[in-house]
């Protein structure tokens, strides 16, 4: 009994596991076995009853004190459950047989579909292989064209690299030349500053020389006026001197006449009548002669003063003439210096114009160098982009 119960228990568990496996494997066909839900519930209850601790059989140590009525009930239940299990198994086998038949039919159908699909796949594979061969051929042609294009681009790149190298050298040369131009520009700015300072000093010197020239011309005009006044005064003094000379000659002649008359009268004999009258006349004549002598002396003194004044005027005239000559020389020198300064100013203006032209040339050269550098950088970026595109095409 113990062995039979153990066998039935193991068989029930094994078939329940098969049932659970079959139910899990055919979960897609649950609609066809919905009628077995009640049996499955009963088996679940049976398993729960069997697995209760009060009903678990201790195989090594069989409980001797198990009640007979419990055993009889268990045997009846076992027989009942065995009969139910047999019916359920029969139903399951019929259901499984139907499922297997359906599965076989489905497999045959799927094999037919697989054959058709295999034919279609073979056709598609052939078509795809032909298409892939065409694509490979086209890719080979494109690859060859890309290789040719790559070779052309490589040659063009080498050419442009050579051009870029030449441009770099040219840029370096232009940079060096620009540095030289910058240094020359600084030097020229310094020279220009010096020339401007010299030009300003020359302008100031020109203004000073013009002022001096104006002063010299003013002094010359004043000296000319003074000389004309002195010349007029000299002419007047000469006229006065001539008049005094004439008057002195007249007085001298009168004096001589009086002396002759006195001598003549002194020879007249004393017996003559009117001697007293003659003596009176002689004394009068002597007085007049003394007066005339004093007048002649005063005239001589005046003549000597006029002569001395004439000498002083002549010396002053000579000094004025010498001063005028010196002022004329100064004016001539100032005019020469002015003409030299104007020549220097013209030279400085020409140098300034040349410096401005040189500065414009330096700026234009710098702009050309910057434009050439930008063009070279643009060409380099275009070449790098073309090479990157070719590499991307090859990598694809």
Domain ranges of the chain: 2-112, 165-395
Q: Which whole number is the average pLDDT over 114-139?
A: 83
Mean of the per-residue pLDDT values for the chain?
69
More confident call, 360 vs 24: 360
pLDDT greater than 50 at residue 258: yes
Q: Give residue 369's pLDDT band: very low, low, confident or very high (50, 70, 90).
A: confident
CA 387, 390, 391 angle in degrees (round to 5)? 85
CB 146 within 8 Å of CB 390 = yes
pLDDT greater than 60 at residue 209: yes
Q: Report the first-to-last Cα separation within the chain, whole angstroms.
A: 79
Work out the number of other CB atoms within 10 angstroms of the CB of residue 156. Answer: 14
Domain 165-395: give its CATH architecture.
Orthogonal Bundle (1.10)
Give residue 353's pLDDT.
79
Give residue 57's pLDDT.
45
Return the closest-CA partner of residue 14 out of 43, 49, 53, 56: 43
Find the Cα–Cα–Cα–Cα dihedral 109, 114, 116, 120, rounded to 10°: 160
Radius of gyration of the chain (CA): 79
As given in the structure block, the two tokens for residue 223 are 């000296």
pLDDT greater than 50 at residue 164: yes
Give the whole-angstrom CA distance, residue 336 versus residue 347.
Answer: 16
pLDDT greater than 60 at residue 259: yes
More confident call, 376 vs 113: 113
Give the whole-angstrom CA distance, residue 392 versus residue 199.
Answer: 68
- Render pLDDT for 21-45 as a digit per residue (tens, 0 to 9): 444 444 444 444 444 444 455 555 5
Burial tier of 85 (Cβ tally within 10 Å: 0-12, 13-18, 19+): buried
Overall pTM surpassing 0.75 (yes/no): no
pLDDT greater than 60 at residue 268: no
200 to 147, 207, 338: CA distances (angstroms): 73, 10, 14
């Amino acid at each position: 009994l113990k062995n039979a119960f153990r066998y039935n228990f193991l068989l029930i568990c094994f078939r329940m596991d098969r049932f659970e496996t079959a139910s899990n494997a055919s979960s897609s066909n649950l609609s066809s076995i919905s009628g077995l839900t009640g049996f499955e519930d009963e088996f679940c209850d049976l398993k729960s009853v069997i697995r209760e601790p009060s009903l678990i059989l201790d195989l090594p140590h069989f409980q001797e004190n198990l009640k007979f009525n419990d055993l009889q009930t268990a045997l009846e239940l076992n027989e009942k459950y065995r009969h139910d299990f047999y019916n359920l198994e029969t139903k399951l086998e019929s259901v499984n047989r139907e499922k297997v038949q359906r599965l076989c039919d489905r497999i045959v159908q799927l094999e037919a579909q697989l054959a058709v699909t295999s034919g279609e796949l073979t056709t598609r594979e052939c078509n795809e292989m032909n298409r892939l061969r065409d694509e490979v051929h086209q890719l080979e042609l494109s690859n060859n064209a890309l290789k040719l294009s790559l070779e052309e681009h490589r040659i063009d790149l080498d050419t442009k690299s050579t051009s870029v190298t030449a441009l770099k050298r040219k840029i370096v040369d232009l940079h060096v030349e620009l540095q030289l131009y910058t240094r020359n520009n600084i030097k020229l700015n310094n020279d220009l500053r010096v020339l401007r300072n010299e030009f300003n000093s020359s302008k100031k010197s020109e203004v000073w020389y013009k002022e001096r020239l104006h002063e010299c011309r003013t002094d010359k005009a004043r000296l000319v006026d003074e000389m004309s006044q002195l010349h007029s005064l000299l002419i007047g003094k000469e006229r006065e001197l001539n008049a005094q000379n004439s008057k002195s000659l007249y007085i001298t002649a009168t004096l001589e006449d009086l002396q002759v008359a006195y001598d003549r009268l002194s020879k007249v004999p004393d017996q003559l009548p009117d001697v007293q009258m003659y003596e009176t006349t002689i004394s009068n004549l002597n007085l007049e002669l003394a007066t005339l002598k004093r007048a002649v002396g005063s005239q001589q003194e005046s003549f000597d003063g006029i002569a001395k004044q004439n000498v002083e005027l002549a010396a002053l005239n000579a000094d004025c003439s010498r001063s005028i000559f010196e002022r004329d020389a100064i004016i001539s020198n100032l005019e020469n210096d002015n003409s030299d300064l104007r020549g220097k100013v013209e030279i400085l203006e020409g140098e300034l114009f040349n410096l401005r032209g040189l500065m414009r040339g330096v700026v234009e050269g710098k702009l050309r160098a910057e434009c050439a550098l930008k063009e070279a950088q643009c060409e380099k970026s275009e070449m790098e982009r073309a090479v990157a595109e070719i590499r991307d095409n090859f990598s694809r």
